[in-house]
Structure 1
Amino acid sequence: MNDPLALFGLIHTSLLEIVSFALALAMVILNIRQSPWAWLFSIASAALYAVVFYDSKLYGDMSLQFFFIAVSLWGSYQWLFGGVSHHGVQVSRLTPKGWLHSALAWLIGFVAIASFLRLFTDTDVPHIDAFLTAGSLVGQLLLSCKKLENWHVWIGIDLLYIGLYLHKNLYLTALLFALFVVMAVIGLRTWKKSLANQNIATS
């Protein structure tokens, strides 16, 4: 399933990457719509992408997929039963303290992951892999809590991922992340409207 093939005679990919691509695309569309079904697609896509990234020696990204699976289970609970009333969390903004905690988590994650990748793997991109992996961990946690700023994180992360995946000849995945950038911008605008409507409803 992970054997190489040429898509339309132009993009070299694999059936596994194509399926992972489709599932990830559906996941982001559902995230924008704030549908809890997004987490099911997240789990399926992450499981398949773990194999894709292992074959490409992107071990940070591979490990990230297992974290995505765990956070997806927690995120689905938060979206369905979280919040004070246990009817699901609503869109909210990060506080200054939340920004600080997110930045510190990103930094600590980067240092820890980069050190591990340099010492114990044969990856040729330990630092950018670690930086993007740590950032993705932060973005996924913010998404699970329905923090508006998760879209800011994903826009920056996805832009950098495009270059990394082109370097690793994962052209279809690079295209996916280019689409993710556009969709993250749409998600940001959509969630801003949702937050504004919530504020009107509670005022």
Structure 2
Amino acid sequence: MDWLNGEAFTAFGQHIKWSDMIGNVIGLLALALGWRRSIWTWPAQFLSGVILFAAFATSHLTGSAGKQVVVMAVAAWGYWQWTRGRQQAQDGSIAVRFATWRERGYLAGGAVVGTLAVGGLFTLYPSLSWDPWPDAYIFVGTLVAMVAQARGMVEFWFAWLLVDLVGVPLNFANGFAFSGFVYVIYGALVLWGMRDWWLRSRRSGRPSLEGAPA
């Protein structure tokens, strides 16, 4: 596995690692598959998590490494959720919708409480992370985004945008330049995917902004 953390090439004065490049290319593919509502988004996210875990674990970015463990666990759960959803749908497709206000409250509250808890842990134990609060924000934000995606909520795209705002500078600052570049592409895909899911949610006829059970 040592070659994964070796240098692939240098671009714009930044050293690009193999693990950083391969893991994020697969992650980019996973996001594109999610936009297309393909169930293969989840195996792709799982594989990306495995590779990026190897990258971040060797760089003392415990939050980012832990995030990949969460990515793998939620990817397995998301695959099960979407498989079940396809079986229940008459046309075999994945239905998407806006979250209810209650669900939004759960997502936002979980993000705040989770970030405070994880950031506090990293602050108490500095050896776990060099950047405790941004690292905690990314860790929890990714979990929130993937849970929303697994439930078919349009809000998962908004969550990814908020994660990207911190993820880009953090990755550049810690030597993961390819991650930083890819996150910029993520931003464009997120905006495109957000529009597509929003339009599909309106056509689906499912409850959107309020009134639907959690």
| TM-score normalised by L of structure 1 | 0.91
Equivalent positions of 1:35-54 (< 5 A) are 35-54=38-57
Out of 56, 60, 65, the position equivalent to 2:63 is 60
Structure 1: tracts of 5 or more residues without a match: none
Contact 1:78 1:89 in 2 (8 A): no
- Deviation, structure 1 residue 6: 2.2
Q: Deviations over 1:58-111 (max 9, x none)?
A: 111111111111111111111121389365651011111111111111111112
Task: State the Cα deviation string for residues 35-79 of structure 1 (Å, max 9, x = none).
Answer: 000111100000110111112221111111111111111111111
Secondary structure of the 1:56 match is coil
Give the structure 2 partner of residue 30 of structure 1: 33
Q: 1:131 to 1:9 in 2, by over 3 A?
A: closer
Spell out the pairing of 1:143-158 with structure 2 (5 A cutoff): 143-158=149-164
Structure 1 counterpart SS, 2:179:
helix
Distance in 1 (CA, whole Å) between partners of 2:101 and 2:25 is 36
Out of 102, 106, 118, the position equivalent to 1:101 is: 106
Q: Distance in 2 between matches of 1:147 and 1:109?
A: 20
* Contact 1:81 1:89 survives alignment (8 Å): no
Higher RCO (CA < 8 A, seq sep 6+): 2
CA RMSD of aligned residues (A): 1.9
Amino acid in structure 2 at the alignment position of 1:19: I
Alignment gaps of 5+ in structure 2: 207-214
TM-score (norm 2): 0.87
Offset at residue 9 of structure 1 (A): 7.0
Q: Which residue of 2 aligns with 1:16?
A: 19
**Alignment: residue pair count:** 200
Q: % of aligned pairs identical?
A: 21
In the alignment, does 2:121 pair up with 1:116? yes
Match of 1:130 among 126, 132, 136: 136
Residue pairs, 1:163-174, within 5 angstroms? 163-174=169-180
